């Protein structure tokens, strides 16, 4: 990169219009690394027969197996209701806990990978998920 050129990244403004935002070289490199990781994730999902589904409420991805059979309309309705109940409870967690729960349990990421991605200590991830699960159990009416 030329030192005189200020790098930009594409974004959408509040009206949904595409704009280029000037960023530092470090931020640009982070965006590029994120894009590479995103492409790796997509390839992994394709290789393992999963479909990335975007959840706008949580602003994150979770995977839904394409190969899971649907037994009946009633079972599908029950599964949909359970999914909505679970996502509603997850939505009541802190933003950090939501992100970590989704990475751990919906994206099947290891604790070490989550810690590396968030650049925090492994124990912080473990403790955060433990508190999140306790909160979910309480929200869903289960005994710890």
Question: Is the domain 51-144 a CATH 2.102.10.10 member?
Answer: no
108 conformational bin, left if phi > 0, alpha if psi -120 to 50, beta if neither: left
Tens of pLDDT, residues 74-86: 877 777 788 888 8
Q: Which pTM value belongs to this model? A: 0.49
Question: What rounded mean pLDDT belongs to the chain?
Answer: 76
Share above pLDDT 90 across residues of the chain, in percent, rounded to a whole number: 27
Nearest to 66 by CA among 84, 79, 53, 85: 53
User: Mind listing the pLDDT tens digit for each residue in 94-125?
Assistant: 999 999 998 998 888 999 999 999 999 999 99
| Nearest CA among 20, 46, 47, 44 for reference residue 31 | 20
Number of helices (H) and strands (E), helices first, in the chain? 5, 4
Strands (E) located in the chain: 8-12, 18-22, 50-55, 60-65
Phi, psi (5° rounding) for residue 63?
-105, 145
Domain coordinates of the chain in residue numbers? 1-47, 51-144
d(CA 29, CA 25): 6
């Amino acid at each position: 990169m030329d030192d005189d050129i200020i790098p930009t990244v594409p974004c959408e403004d509040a009206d949904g219009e595409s704009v280029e935002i000037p960023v530092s070289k470090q931020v640009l490199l982070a965006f590029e690394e994120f894009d590479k990781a995103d492409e790796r994730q997509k390839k992994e999902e394709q290789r393992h027969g999963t479909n990335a589904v975007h959840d706008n409420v949580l602003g994150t991805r979770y995977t839904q197996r394409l190969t899971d059979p649907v037994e009946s309309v009633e079972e599908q309705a029950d599964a949909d209701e359970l999914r909505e109940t679970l996502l509603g409870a997850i939505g009541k967690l802190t933003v950090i806990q939501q992100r970590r729960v989704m990475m751990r349990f919906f994206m099947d990421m290891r604790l070490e990978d989550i810690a590396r991605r968030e650049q925090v200590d492994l124990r912080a991830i473990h403790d955060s998920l433990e508190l999140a699960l306790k909160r979910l159990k309480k929200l869903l009416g289960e005994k710890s």
